[in-house]
Amino acid sequence: MTPVGQLSRFVFAVGLAVLLPPVVASVASQAEPDIAVVVHPEVSVDNLTRADLRGILLGGQSSWPSGVRVALLLRAPINRERDAAVRDVCGMSEAQFRQHWIGLVFRSATATGPKIVYSHEWALDLVSLTPGAITLLEMPITTKSVKVLKIDGKAPGQPGYSLK
């Protein structure tokens, strides 16, 4: 390689090294916030395992330990919170999730599927007003009229929290 070629490679490498840290830092600062599991404040649970959460999302757990019926509220399809619930927790596509719930209703295993909420604020309002309600919402949660649950012992924002 010619000295000019070596010099141009060196200048390129130095330029890349100078520019890369700010780019990496800006990408890291734009990380998406955690997804919180939010319940009515009188729900008697403070922590769920991922398996418990999956059971609730799939209709396998229809009441809380206190006996209050679970009221599942989910954001409309194509929301990040719904994707976290359906894809990440349940391991299903949106079509599989819908088909699962249609099957439950058809077999009379449940009266209705999850209720659809169309905004973060609407979901917070309904959870705060509906005994037994549960939903998944992007952090931050700015009201004290609901309770944020831990998942596998970790709260949103803590290292190792699993809902992103």
Cα distances from 32 to residues 37, 75, 120, 163, 164, in angstroms, run 16, 17, 15, 11, 7
**For residue 155, which amino acid is it?**
A
* Residue in this structure with the two tokens 């449940």, named with its chain if needed: 110
Q: Identify the CATH assignment for 35-151 out of 3.40.190.10, 3.20.20.140, 3.20.20.60, 2.60.120.620.
A: 3.40.190.10
The tokens for 81 are: 């919170």
Whole-prediction pTM value?
A: 0.80
Per-residue pLDDT of the chain (164 residues; tens, 9 = 90+): 555 455 445 444 444 444 444 444 334 345 889 999 999 999 999 999 999 999 999 999 999 999 999 999 999 999 999 999 999 999 999 999 999 999 999 999 988 899 999 999 999 999 999 999 999 999 999 889 999 999 999 999 999 999 99
